[in-house]
Structure 1
């Protein structure tokens, strides 16, 4: 029966199929880049990598269904359903990571628990015979064609959740989209920036991400509204592929490949992948950490300590400080320490200068005095009495 069907219904390879297939390849490749050992230290990269993998799984199944190649691998019918529930959480947690810097392990599990539970609920269907899955494919993509004879003792989708996957996945996507938009609005308000003309590069990135997801969500809802079956899935799969292409373009544009050094140029930082936008983001995050947490108050505060706080490498932090601030790490730390010392000298007039020096991270009064005069032009005592 399968051979007869293929003779009547050949593989469908058109522009949509090619466009989606290339999107799948790029999504898988990009996910490995985002989830590489060094890049996944940044939580936003980690969640974007998971989102790309989830998208790749979903549009892979759509590609197989649309082209008819699913007939050669019927065991993959509906395999991507749990991944559909992971797209929304990944999008939301990526946004939170871009705004807050990180996400707790508890919050990760909280948002990914449903896709995991859904996978186990789907197992009764996943273990069904190829004939049963063939019927599922025909029912969704080619209604009206004859089914194969299948006899089973129970309904593999006896739960309402698994029997109404499309409704549930659309609801999940909508909920997480709303949550993500709310987080972005709060971020814009806290920074007091306009949604139309954001200045901060992270806010620009957040706005672009929300815009893309808004369009994707609308397309999915429109396609599902006008296609009761899954016959129009290739339309939103093509748009998701387009989103993946845009991500590839941004990654390539932000890479260090086109800033390769030549034999006549100095070598320092020439092979670095740090872009100007990323450098600005890193320096803003650095200043926020130094101002809020004041790690420089610890006498042994070092460049590796700062790199760990920023979830990046020592080389990247050093380059950002050297090029972006025009200072060395030690000069930058000294500047923060002296600013803190200035405040303490005014607010605590009865505290000895030696104690102020210790409070801001100096073990030696002479070192403190030297750094203070170099930066402020006065000694600590002169500053206090001024």
Structure 2
């Protein structure tokens, strides 16, 4: 028995140290790709999780604060997958993702802080099922997201490296495998943390591969010439329109003065004519109007927040590369000149 405890201790300490080391490497890489920042957060959570398991094994802690942490990995990896395919969820969406998990922790807070003296009831049993539901929900959602993205690429852009897709499917498979070993843990009656051990192997494999080949996080598919003009269904139009607006607003691509239909289509891994089709048919707007509207909104917010910033500086920061273009666009969408709008803002203040 003591030999098994020593093995568990060695595994937990090795995993804890490894996660901290990898977090440091990922932090340095996060300046290049934002996906590394999410992966760093996953490793930090995992390191803390392993430490709490280790502390519990040695009776340093009487609580089980990490009892519900299994669902965190499914949520964070789902966010990671969405960030990879250019559909990073907003802060509000992420808060909504974690809301059920927080409610779960509150429902069993007595067990989390004092498991030995807590009398287990139906509430605790149902909470266990709810934890499983949260985990499976985000794992399945991740699979659906990857499948939908793969289908979208096959239809709209033609080529995407199989290695990119294997990365995403590998994450989904790891999430399923991690939870599938729980029954075996009870059958074998072992105190080895099998789910953490499997998740540990999967996370380290994925992280090492990405550190060695960061180009796997480049999900911009290469466009393939095709003379057959596909027509999109209404449901596809709606999905792509939402994806376009999300990417445009969250990454503020409109602030790039060199942004055009071709480069924006590359960001979306779409063919330019399909992008135009979605904008014209579903959103009822031309590409240049969409970009300039976003730029003018950005300018107005800057004027309100920093009214003393030079107007030309604001225009350049918003993505305009000529003063005349900026003035014409502002007049078109606001029926005011930039100076008149600024005067209104200052007078209301």
Quote how far apart the aligned CAs of 1:181 are.
0.9
Residue in structure 1 matched with residue 19 of structure 2 by the alignment: 27
Residue in structure 2 matched with residue 105 of structure 1 by the alignment: 91
Residue in structure 2 matched with residue 271 of structure 1 by the alignment: none
Query: Does 2:166 align with 1:204?
Result: yes
Contact 2:160–2:219, Cα closer than 8 Å, also in 1: no
> Residue deviations 1:92-117, cap 9 Å, x none?
22222222331122211111012222
Residue in structure 2 matched with residue 52 of structure 1 by the alignment: 43
Within the candidate set 135, 138, 143, 1:181 is matched to: 143
Contact 1:62–1:237, Cα closer than 8 Å, also in 2: no
CA separation in 2, counterparts of 1:101 and 1:41? 14
Residue in structure 1 matched with residue 206 of structure 2 by the alignment: 247
> Residue deviations 1:146-201, cap 9 Å, x none?
xxxxxx7xx5766x4445554433332222211111111111111118xxx96255
Contact 1:47–1:94, Cα closer than 8 Å, also in 2: yes
Go from structure 1 to structure 2 and tell me whether the alpha carbon gap of 1:189 and 1:209 turns closer, same or farther (over 3 Å shift): same
Contact 1:55–1:83, Cα closer than 8 Å, also in 2: no
Residue in structure 2 matched with residue 74 of structure 1 by the alignment: 61
Go from structure 1 to structure 2 and tell me whether the alpha carbon gap of 1:81 and 1:31 turns closer, same or farther (over 3 Å shift): farther
> Residue deviations 1:317-371, cap 9 Å, x none?
9xxxxxxxxxxx97x979869x99xx9xxxxxxxxxxxxxx9xx8869xxxxxxx
Query: Does 2:237 align with 1:237?
Result: no
Quote how far apart the aligned CAs of 1:239 are.
1.6
| Alignment TM-score, normalising by the size of structure 2 | 0.55
What is the total number of aligned residue pairs between the two structures? 253
CA separation in 2, counterparts of 1:250 and 1:11? 33
Alignment of 1:1-386 (within 5 A): 12-31=4-23, 34=26, 38-39=30-31, 42=34, 44-65=35-56, 68-69=57-58, 71=59, 73-75=60-62, 77-128=63-114, 133=115, 136=116, 160-163=122-125, 165-192=127-154, 199=161, 201-224=163-186, 226=187, 231-254=190-213, 275-278=214-217, 280-281=218-219, 309=252
Quote how far apart the aligned CAs of 1:238 are.
2.0
Structure 1 residue ranges without an equivalent (≥5)? 1-8, 137-151, 255-274, 296-304, 311-316, 318-328, 344-357, 365-386
**How large is the Cα RMSD of the aligned pairs?**
4.8
Structure 2 residue ranges without an equivalent (≥5)? 224-239, 265-271, 277-291, 293-319, 324-349
Go from structure 1 to structure 2 and tell me whether the alpha carbon gap of 1:55 and 1:101 turns closer, same or farther (over 3 Å shift): same
Contact 2:65–2:113, Cα closer than 8 Å, also in 1: no
Go from structure 1 to structure 2 and tell me whether the alpha carbon gap of 1:35 and 1:115 turns closer, same or farther (over 3 Å shift): farther
Contact 1:85–1:169, Cα closer than 8 Å, also in 2: yes
Residue in structure 2 matched with residue 300 of structure 1 by the alignment: none
| Alignment TM-score, normalising by the size of structure 1 | 0.50
Counterpart secondary structure, 2:181: helix
Go from structure 1 to structure 2 and tell me whether the alpha carbon gap of 1:200 and 1:168 turns closer, same or farther (over 3 Å shift): same
> Residue deviations 1:77-130, cap 9 Å, x none?
3110242232221122222222233112221111101222233334434554xx
Residue in structure 1 matched with residue 233 of structure 2 by the alignment: none
CA separation in 1, counterparts of 2:78 and 2:167? 14
